[in-house]
Amino acid sequence: MTLALPPKPRHFIDLWRFDAPTLRAILDDAQTRKAARMGWPKGAPDSDAPAKDRTLAMIFEKNSTRTRFSFDAAIRQLGGHSIIATASDMQLGRGETVEDTARVLSRMVDAVMIRSNAHQTLERFAQAATVPVINGLSDASHPCQIIADLQTFEEHRGSVAGKTLAWVGDGNNMCASFMHVAGQLGFRLRVACPSAYAPDRVDVARGLELGAQIEITDDPRAAVEGADAVLADTWVSMGDTDHDARLAALEPYQVDAKLMSLAARDAVFLHCLPAHRGEEVTDEVMDGPQSLIWDEAENRIHAQKAILAWCFGHG
Ligand code: CP
Ligand code: NVA
C-alpha cells in the first residue's frame, strides 16, 4: 500500500530558490492588488479574500516596525487573522526546540512568519513545519523587503529588467537578497562597499550561478555612475557588535546629493528603513524628490499580500 504524502508547504525563505516566472507573478500580483483597492479603508478585505479564515503566526527574535505592522495589515486585507509573539515570551526563549515549536504551531495556524537572529533557525523551522514559513528577515537575508523594493521601482520606472541598481554601504542581508534575485529578473547590480564589509562570497556565487550581473567595487562613485536606482541601508544591522569600526569604515559611503547627482537623471533612491539620518544617507536625499521611501514602506503590505497568497497556493 502506498501512502499519499502531504503536499510540501510553499516556504518563502530566500529569493535564489525562486524562478523568474514565479517572481514575476508575485510582483505583478502585488501591484494588481494595490491598484484594485486604491482609496479603500486599510482594514477592508480584498474582494477575493484569498486567505479567508487563515491564521498567520508571527515570531520576532528582533525588533520590527514595518514587518510587524505590514504583515498584520496584509493578512487582514487577504481576509485572514494574525497572532504575534516575541520569541523571548515563548517557550522557545526557555529552550524548547525550534523543531518542536514548528510542529506545534503547524497544528494551530496556517502559516508562520519568523524574524530570526540566525538564518539557520528559519531553515530548521521550515524543515519541521507542515505549513508555509516566511522569512521576515534574518542575519543573512530579507527577501520580503526586496519584493517591495522592486515593486516600488517598477511602479515608478517600469520593468527592472535591463536596469542598473547600485547598492552603497554594508554588504549585508539586504544586499544579499538583491544579489539572490538580480539574475532571474535581469537587472545589473553594482555593489560599493569597503572590503571589510563586502558581501558574503556564497551570496555572490548564488547570484552569479543564476546569471546575475554583479559588480563589486570599493568606489561608491563608480557604482552609482549612471545607475537607475541607488540603494542604501543602515551601516549597523541588528545583531552587529562592531558599531564604531563600521561607522569609521563606512563613512565614505554616505549617500548625499553629490553622490546622487552621478546617477541617471531620473534615478530613484530606496532605503528599507529604519534609516540613520546623517549616517548612511542625508536628510536632503531621504526627503528629496528622488526618494521613494514612503511608497517603499507602504509596498511592504502589497508585496507581502502577494507572497502570502503564493504561500497559500495562489499563482
Ligand atoms: N524594513 C524593515 O524590515 O523594517 P522593520 O525592521 O521595522 O520591520
Ligand atoms: N540590515 C538591517 C535591515 C533592517 C530592516 C538589519 O538587519 O538590521
CATH T-level fold of 145-296 = Rossmann fold (3.40.50)
Alpha carbon distance 91, 101 (integer Å): 8
**Is the distance from the beta carbon of residue 30 to the nearest atom of ligand 1 less than 6 Å?**
no
**Is the distance from the beta carbon of residue 272 to the nearest atom of ligand 1 less than 6 Å?**
yes
Check if 142 is active-site: yes
Average pLDDT of every residue of the chain: 97
Residue 149 scores a pLDDT above 80? yes
Closest C-alpha to ligand 2, atom 3 = 237
Residue 29 scores a pLDDT above 80? yes
Closest C-alpha to ligand 1, atom 3 = 67
Q: What is the pLDDT of residue 2?
A: 64
Q: What is the pLDDT of residue 138?
A: 98
Check if 145 is active-site: yes
What distance in angstroms lies between residue 136's CA and the mean position of ligand 1's atoms? 9
Alpha carbon distance 131, 101 (integer Å): 12
Residue 3 scores a pLDDT above 70? no
Q: What is the pLDDT of residue 6?
A: 67
Q: What is the pLDDT of residue 7?
A: 78
Task: Read off the pLDDT of residues 196-237 as tens digits, 9 standing for 90 and up.
Answer: 999 999 999 999 999 999 999 999 999 999 999 999 999 999
Identified catalytic residue from 180, 272, 290, 304: 272
What distance in angstroms lies between residue 144's CA and the mean position of ligand 2's atoms? 12
Residue 59: partners with Cβ closer than 8 Å, 6 or more residues away: 85, 86, 87, 90, 92, 112, 113, 114, 115, 116
Decide: 185 and 23 in contact? Cβ < 8 Å: yes
For a pLDDT cut of 70, what percent of the chain falls above it? Answer: 98
Check if 124 is active-site: no
C-alpha cell at 257: 546629493
DSSP classification of residue 12: B
What distance in angstroms lies between residue 274's CA and the mean position of ligand 1's atoms? 7
Domains 15-142+300-311 and 145-296 share a fold: yes
The SS3 call for residue 207 is helix
Residue 39 scores a pLDDT above 70? yes
Strands ordered across the beta sheet of 164-168: 213-217, 188-192, 164-168, 229-232, 268-271
Identified catalytic residue from 66, 76, 110, 145: 145
Sequence spans of domains, the chain? 15-142+300-311, 145-296
Q: What is the pLDDT of residue 5?
A: 65
DSSP classification of residue 46: P
Identified catalytic residue from 14, 29, 228, 233: 233
**β-pair type (229-232, 268-271):** parallel
Q: What is the pTM of this model?
A: 0.97
State the architecture of 15-142+300-311 in CATH terms.
Answer: 3-Layer(aba) Sandwich (3.40)
Burial zone of 21 (CB within 10 Å; 0-12 exposed, 13-18 middle, 19+ buried): exposed
Task: Read off the pLDDT of residues 163-172 as tens digits, 9 standing for 90 and up.
Answer: 999 999 999 9
Check if 272 is active-site: yes
Q: Which residues have CB under 6 Å of ligand 2? A: 137, 172-174, 233-234, 237-238, 272
